[in-house]
Homo-oligomer: A and B are copies of this chain.
């Protein structure tokens, strides 16, 4: 019996329900995937709390990424039954079987386990859109990443290691600074950033930090704003405060500073399937080493989200459907 997890309403860790699913027929250029692992992301926790504006209405099935084995292919498919794959999904990833367009599906790299296959695509797609599709990284760039110690930071590093660039991460923790130094990565405390300038800045914190980072751009530099992570775990009042603090840029200011600003919303990018497909096609070029994974049984979804919210995870948290 194939199942999916339902988020029926805003709630605590025990709010989730399971229900049986019977999937439709597989259409042209679609594949049916026997899901082995579903990735759990921080955004999923925010949806459970009712704090994610782009979530669909309740009830719905969260989840952005899965890995598994193809059990059926539609007409014209370039995939084969039995093939191991990983896929990005626009919600609905918390399930034991899913039908997806081929453009969101990618053959599992040979050196990946199925678990690792469910651990990279959300961060990869985000990082790809920031550095490849929007900022268009090039040799010699000096790059600041304000979420360097998380999954997105790791994937950014994995993409950018393929370029001759200087990557600086921002951290608030002297402990993490030393930890990442051992891995060969440079982290700086905010107090150490004084007067440092960058060609590309990835800003995920939002609010007033965007204007600070804008001032850190070199001429012809570009900032990519990912949203408002500062606000997402905050109180109702602080959430609105951060939103109201999201800056406006007068084009005349951009002209007089010779700078650029981008914004990225990955969910809305799924409305342009060719953009997602192109990003996925590039995956194998980057030789991406997947993060460490912590696996929970699907029934333990509440504990899996708690594990993330209590910041116990050092890598990626997965749900297992077949163990």
Contacts and interface: CB of A to CB of B under 8 A. Distances in A.
Interface residues of A, number: 41
Given A254-B263, A263-B252, A219 B138 contact: no
Given A249-B249, A275-B220, A258 B254 contact: no
A134 interface: yes
A262 interface: yes
Interface stretch (A164-172, A240-248, A315-323): A240-248
A255 B264 contact: yes
B269 A254 contact: no
B249 A248 contact: yes
8 contacts: A133-B220, A219-B268, A219-B275, A222-B260, A246-B250, A248-B248, A249-B251, A255-B263
Nearest to A138: B136
A261 interface: yes
Given A257-B263, A261-B261, 12 more contacts: A206-B251, A219-B269, A225-B255, A227-B255, A246-B250, A248-B250, A253-B263, A255-B263, A255-B264, A256-B268, A258-B264, A259-B262
A262 B268 CA distance: 22
A259 B253 contact: no
Contacts of A133: 220
A129 B263 contact: no
Contacts of A254: 225, 261-263
B255 A247 contact: no
A225 B251 contact: yes
A236 interface: no
Interface in A204-236: 206, 210, 218-220, 222, 224-227
Nearest to A220: B133
A265 interface: yes
B260 A260 contact: yes
A199 B292 CA distance: 37
Contacts of A134: 220, 222, 258, 260
B220 A129 contact: yes
Those 7 A-B pairs whose CB atoms lie nearest each other, nearest first = A254-B263, A255-B263, A260-B262, A136-B136, A133-B220, A248-B248, A219-B272
A250 B248 CA distance: 4
A265 B269 contact: no
Interface in A38-61: none
A138, A206, A243, A263 — most chain B CB neighbours (10 Å): A263
A128 to B, nearest CB: 10
